């Protein structure tokens, strides 16, 4: 059953944290109650009626007990959007007395005045003040249009992907041809330089460098490893090509047999055969 609060001479007390409040401004409502330490007290929760205020949150303060008396305090965080000039709130405190008895105690009503930020209209004006026309433009700071630039970047990426899909293979082939042509020109220059050195020095190591240069170039041209192959294996690799067989045998006699008395014309012919074969292989790979 509910008992009247008249039985308690000193009931709960409540107050606002300020005397005035603006619309939407945070406001604290403190509810406190001093009672016997043996009493069980319940303060309102978020489901209580806070009108005309809006509930934002609450802060429970620890119970303080001294000489058999306990003090409970709770601070409710509120805000109001009501335009009433004076706004009031009265939250009850429940005291449990046994299994069936509940005492509902009400504190004095706490009031707060609404502070207006707009000037009050004169009662003799007869209506709202006239509007003043102002056609002047206010400067605005330029804002970065992220959606526009993101859409533009996505469009450029899609365009680039489409161009790459249509022309990428052709461009890669043209680049490979350019790179292969450049390597071929470099090989011919290096080959001619080494052949000329052999003619002047008649040195077996120089002849060996000519053959190594030829092997390395064909390895890069065909993407194979020919540097470790012997003369017999090279001839078999190139399908027993007569020019390759004759040229390598002539250079082997100089490199491994130290037969520097070989006819200069024969060695020059061997170098020419190696050069001609390299050019043929270059044409075949480029055409394929």
Q: What is the pLDDT of residue 124?
A: 60
Q: What is the pLDDT of residue 249?
A: 86
- Cβ pair 89, 53 in contact under 8 A: yes
Q: What is the pLDDT of residue 113?
A: 94
Q: Indicate the pairing of strand 53-66 with strand 69-80.
A: antiparallel
Q: What is the pLDDT of residue 72?
A: 94
Residue 139: band (very low, low, confident or very high) from pLDDT cuts 50, 70, 90: confident
- Tens of pLDDT, residues 258-279: 655 556 678 888 888 889 988 8
Gap between the Cα atoms of 83 and 29, Å rounded: 19
Residue 6: band (very low, low, confident or very high) from pLDDT cuts 50, 70, 90: very low
**Which is more confident, 127 or 33?**
33
Q: What is the pLDDT of residue 91?
A: 94
Quote the tokens at residue 113: 């005045």
Residue 27: band (very low, low, confident or very high) from pLDDT cuts 50, 70, 90: very high
Q: What is the pLDDT of residue 16?
A: 96
Rounded mean pLDDT, 247-251: 85
Model confidence pTM above 0.85? no
pLDDT at 246 over 70: yes
Rounded mean pLDDT, 222-226: 82
Q: What is the pLDDT of residue 269?
A: 86
Residue 143: band (very low, low, confident or very high) from pLDDT cuts 50, 70, 90: confident
**Which is more confident, 160 or 106?**
106
- Cβ pair 72, 43 in contact under 8 A: yes
First-residue to last-residue Cα distance in the chain? 103
Q: What is the pLDDT of residue 260?
A: 57
- Give the number of other Cβ atoms within 10 Å of residue 47's Cβ: 7
Instruction: Give the whole-number percent of the chain exceeding pLDDT 90.
Output: 32
Quote the tokens at residue 34: 């001093």
Gap between the Cα atoms of 28 and 217, Å rounded: 88
Q: What is the mean pLDDT of the chain?
A: 84
Rounded mean pLDDT, 171-188: 86
Rounded mean pLDDT, 158-182: 81
Quote the tokens at residue 117: 């930020």
Q: What is the pLDDT of residue 101?
A: 82
Rounded mean pLDDT, 122-140: 72
In order, the DSSP letters of the chain are -EEPGGG-SS--EEEES-SEE-TT--EEEEEEEEEETT-EEE---TTS--TTEEEEEEEEEEEEEETTEEEEEEEEEEEE----SEEEE---EEEEETTTEEEEE-PPPEEEEEPP-SPPPPTTS-SSPPPPP--PPPP------HHHHHHHHHHHHHHHHHHHHHHHHHHHHHHHHHHHHHHHHHHHHHHHHHHHHHHHH--HHHHHHHHHHHHHHHHHHHTS--TT--HHHHHHHTTT-HHHHHHHHHHHHHHTT--TTS-HHHHHHHHHHHHHHHHHHHHHHHH-
């Amino acid at each position: 059953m509910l008992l009247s609060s008249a039985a308690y001479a000193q009931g709960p007390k409540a107050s606002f944290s300020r005397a005035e409040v603006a619309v939407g401004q945070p406001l604290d409502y403190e509810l406190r109650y001093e009672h016997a330490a043996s009493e069980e007290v319940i303060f309102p929760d978020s489901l209580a009626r806070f009108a005309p205020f809006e509930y934002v949150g609450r802060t429970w303060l620890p119970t303080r007990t001294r000489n058999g008396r306990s003090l409970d305090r709770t601070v409710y965080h509120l805000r109001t959007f009501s335009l009433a000039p004076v706004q009031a709130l009265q939250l009850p405190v429940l005291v449990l007395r046994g299994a069936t008895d509940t005492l509902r105690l009400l504190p004095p009503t706490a009031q707060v005045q609404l502070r207006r930020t707009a000037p009050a209209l004169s009662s003799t004006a007869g209506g709202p003040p006239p509007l003043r026309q102002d056609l002047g433009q206010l400067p605005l700071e330029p804002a970065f249009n992220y959606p526009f630039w993101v859409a533009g970047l996505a469009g450029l990426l899609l365009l680039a992907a489409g161009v790459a899909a249509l022309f990428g293979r052709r461009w890669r082939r043209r680049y490979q041809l350019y790179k292969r042509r450049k390597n071929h020109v470099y090989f011919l220059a290096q080959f001619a330089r080494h052949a000329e050195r052999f003619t002047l020095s008649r040195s077996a190591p120089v002849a060996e460098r000519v053959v190594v240069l030829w092997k390395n170039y064909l390895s890069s041209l065909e993407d194979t490893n020919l540097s470790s192959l012997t003369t017999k294996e090279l001839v078999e690799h190139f399908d027993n090509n007569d020019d390759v067989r004759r040229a390598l045998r002539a250079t082997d006699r100089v490199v491994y047999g130290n037969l520097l008395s070989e006819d200069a014309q024969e060695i020059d012919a061997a170098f020419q055969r190696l050069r001609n074969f390299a050019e043929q292989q270059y044409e075949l790979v480029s055409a394929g």
